[in-house]
Amino acid sequence: MADTAEVATAAGSKDPSVGLRAVRSLRVLVERLEVLQVQNARDQGWTWEQIAQLLGVTRQAVHKKYAGGRGPLRRKD
Amino acid sequence: MFERFTREAREVVVGAQHEARVLHSPTIGTEHLLLALLRQQTPSAAVLIRHGLTPEEVAADVVRFTGSADLDADALTSVGIDLDAVRSTVEAAFGPGALDDPKQKAARNGHLPLTPRAKKVLELSLREAIAMRSRSITDGHIALGLLREGEGLAMKVLHDRGVDPVNLRQDLGLVLNS
């Protein structure tokens, strides 16, 4: 594992191939965490409205992304 | 067309699917065909290797050009995030594999589709075989198809590694005709 100084140096790196890969990976990480957290909130009986509010998006946005059609959290009934 | 493929040629197509999966690609591209070709133990693969291509280096090139569609621990370290720490925290709450790619999980058993360019390469391999009056399509003909198609990531890798396509085509032709 890189030590703190190494990480700091890399974070300051201006090499786009490092920086852009980091951004992409962060986006993937955010997406995966969002699916988990939305799923968990629904399991605990949260409404789309409540979820949307905390995610800072509209109810329609979160509903469309997770409840509609072929999304991972679509209703199974 | 596939009924005319030799065992080695079929192995290249199946191998390309494996390569795509390992690199977390949703499709099979020319670069995966090239990687699968390089892993064969055939005279044609030997020609490719003689021209300075190794599977390890080509795989590294591919990742460099396309990035990884999966979580990239090294890249995350560069912005101060320890992916292992994130993973173990998330798994503690949501169970093992919670952070794995949901799409990858679904695709693990299904077949990945060929990109239009990779499909074109396989079609061209048939034409190469016909032009050489070969009754079957071998892995060498797929290599010629890659060169004939002339574009795509496989060709970019070849170009960047300084491989001369004309020379390579000649050498492949020699072993295929012998």
Residue in chain A lying closest to B103 (CA): A72
Contacts for B79 with CB less than 8 Å, ≥ 6 apart: A10, A11, A22, A26
Chain A contact present for B63, CB below 8 A: no
* Predicted confidence pLDDT, tens digits, chain A (77 residues): 445 555 455 555 678 888 888 898 899 999 999 999 999 999 999 999 999 999 999 999 998 888 865 555 555 44
Q: Which amino acid is at B119?
A: K
Chain B contact present for A35, CB below 8 A: yes
What CATH class does B2-68+108-177 carry? mainly alpha
Chain B residues with CB under 8 Å of A24 CB are 67, 72, 75
Q: Which two tokens stand for residue A48?
A: 């789309």
CB contact under 8 A, A36 and B94: yes
- Cα B32 to Cα A52, B92, B99: the distances in Å are 40, 36, 26
CA distance B113 to B89: 35
pTM: 0.68
Q: Which amino acid is at B25?
A: S
CB contact under 8 A, A72 and B102: yes
Q: Which amino acid is at B81?
A: I
**Complex prediction ipTM:** 0.71
CA distance B170 to B53: 16
CA-closest candidate to residue B160, choices B53, B70, B75: B53
Q: Which amino acid is at B165?
A: P
CA distance B114 to B146: 14
Domain chopping of chain A, boundaries: 4-66
CA distance B13 to B6: 11
Q: What angle do CA B150, B154, B159 make, to 5 degrees?
A: 75
Contacts for A43 with CB less than 8 Å, ≥ 6 apart: none
* Predicted confidence pLDDT, tens digits, chain B (178 residues): 778 999 999 999 999 999 998 888 889 999 999 999 999 999 999 999 999 999 999 998 998 888 766 788 888 888 899 999 999 999 999 988 888 877 666 556 678 899 999 999 999 999 999 999 999 999 999 999 999 999 989 999 999 999 999 999 999 999 998 7
Burial of B21-40, coded b for 16+ CB within 10 Å and e otherwise, reads: bebbbeebbbbbbbbbbbeb
Q: How far apart are the first and last CA of chain B?
A: 23
The string of pLDDT tens digits covering residues B41-87 is: 999 999 999 999 999 999 989 988 887 667 888 888 888 999 999 99
- Whether B9 and B125 have beta carbons less than 8 Å apart is answered as yes
